[in-house]
Amino acid sequence: MDSSTLVGRGVADGARMFREWFASLTEAPERGQPAAYVFVMGSFNELLLAFGMAPVFPEINSLQMAVRRVAHEYLNEAEDYGYSPDICGYVKADVALQLRKGKHPMGMIPKPDVAILTNACNTYLKWGEIWERMHGTPVFTVDVPGTRASGQQTWPGDPDFERDRLYVERQIRELIPLLERVSKKKFDIDRLRETMGHANDMGAAFKELIALNRSTPAVFNAVSEGTIYLGVANGFRGTPEGAAYFRDLVEEMTFKAANGIGTVTDEKHRLVFVGVPCYPIFRRFNELFSEWGGAFVSSTYLWFASGGAGLGWQYDLSRPIESLAEGTLISVRHAMDSMFFQDRALLELIDPYKVDGIVFHGIKSCRTTSTGLSDTRRVLTEKRDIPSLFLESDMMDRRVVSEAQMKNRIDAFFEGLVSRKLAKVGA
Ligand code: SF4
């Protein structure tokens, strides 16, 4: 393997796998394969695949509409139907998608035969009710206990943790008969072991991948390339293809790190991104940073939108259901912590990743990820005096994205970073 075959392989493979994934969703009804609507924070892919079901991620369907610049058509349709302009854009785009009988720019999305939610975002609960009303879909909510206070997480063996784990396990044991009814298949614990084994391989490689961006220059952009990785991490979790993809990515990024090949040509500033990206102008949004030599070395998005998969949690395959409950609790809790207690995680990143600045992106229609960003920014300034930028736009609605205004603020931020570095050199 050399540079020409390795560098860029992950992006190309990810895009191909994604096209194939949407094609497979389009064909799911013909195959008689039931569709399960799930969310990125707690998808239960391992369990659904064990029943031969097709997991569908409405959040990914919606963001793909924005990346493909057609989200406004769907948003307008949902607003004309009666949905308020200021609720989650992902929900509204999905409502219009359902009204269009699944017609999506990347294929046809099957109707939900079942929906599984977690409490990681309160919008999930109301979103599930929409499918219930529209299609009569059975909706199952798994309540995953979150961290009670910053830094108070408990771990296996602790009585508090074990009570929470049992609570999740009981819910999973109730979910299994529902999936048997919907899929018309008997639960096969060995099949679950298999999908969990693939998830273990993917998790281990994902964790390694994230750590590889400590190298200078950073080997991947946590926002632009990271979004492709997240797509595969969600859609292919529990499959051999997903595990192989992340092993290949580790190989590619190890090669780049060893040969000093960065994600931006001339890295000058190492940044962390907090929030959800600006999909309506996704490419330009990233260019506004890379043109200054800014590289996103990490992001809270990689943590919460992977459902905590980046932790690399390893299931114990000798007790699959208990361990699925344990992994769900730890991973979904980590995803929630990445939004609600992100100050601690961000502080821990600064030194190992040699972070120069933090970019906060508040989203108009996602209160779950945007609430508390200003407080986090204040805490980081107080504790580490790290430069930061606060941007506001949306992940779906181009009506509230002002590229010119954004550019002004980004340029001013980089000018500040440059003078700060010069002042340090002078001192
Ligand atoms: S996390 Fe934000 S974008 Fe995702 S469903 Fe909840 S409100 Fe919508």
Percent of the chain with pLDDT strictly greater than 90: 89
pLDDT mean over 224-245: 96
Residues linked to residue 299 through DSSP beta bridges, in sequence order = 273
Distance 91 CA to ligand 1 centre (A): 8
| Residue range 264-283, pLDDT digits in tens | 999 999 999 999 999 999 99
Phi, psi of 11 (to 5 degrees): -70, -45
Residue 381 CA to residue 338 CA, distance in Å, equals 18
* Residue 344 clears pLDDT 80, i.e. is over it: yes
How big is the chain, counted in residues? 427
| Pocket flag, ligand 1, residue 59 (CB < 6 Å) | yes
Residues linked to residue 380 through DSSP beta bridges, in sequence order = none
| Residue range 10-58, pLDDT digits in tens | 999 999 999 999 999 999 999 999 999 999 999 999 999 999 999 999 9
Q: Report which of 279, 332, 326, 273 is spatially closest to residue 304, judged by C-alpha positions.
A: 332
Residues linked to residue 272 through DSSP beta bridges, in sequence order = 298, 358
Nearest atom within ligand 1 for CA of residue 88: 8
| Pocket flag, ligand 1, residue 339 (CB < 6 Å) | no
| Pocket flag, ligand 1, residue 62 (CB < 6 Å) | no
Single-letter amino acid, residue 285: F
Residue 97 CA to residue 94 CA, distance in Å, equals 5
Quickly list H helices, 100-188.
122-135, 159-183
Residue 85 CA to residue 71 CA, distance in Å, equals 13
* Residue 176 clears pLDDT 70, i.e. is over it: yes
| Pocket flag, ligand 1, residue 130 (CB < 6 Å) | no
| Pocket flag, ligand 1, residue 87 (CB < 6 Å) | no
Single-letter amino acid, residue 370: S
Least reliable range by pLDDT among 1-15, 194-208, 219-233: 1-15
Residue 318 CA to residue 28 CA, distance in Å, equals 32
What is the crossing angle of helices 224-235 and 9-31, to 10°?
40
Residue 408 DSSP SS3: helix
Residue having the nearest C-alpha atom to atom 2 of ligand 1: 366
| Residue range 387-427, pLDDT digits in tens | 999 999 999 999 999 999 999 999 999 999 999 989 988 87
Residues 6+ apart with CB under 8 A from 170: none
What pTM does this model have?
0.95
Distance 368 CA to ligand 1 centre (A): 6
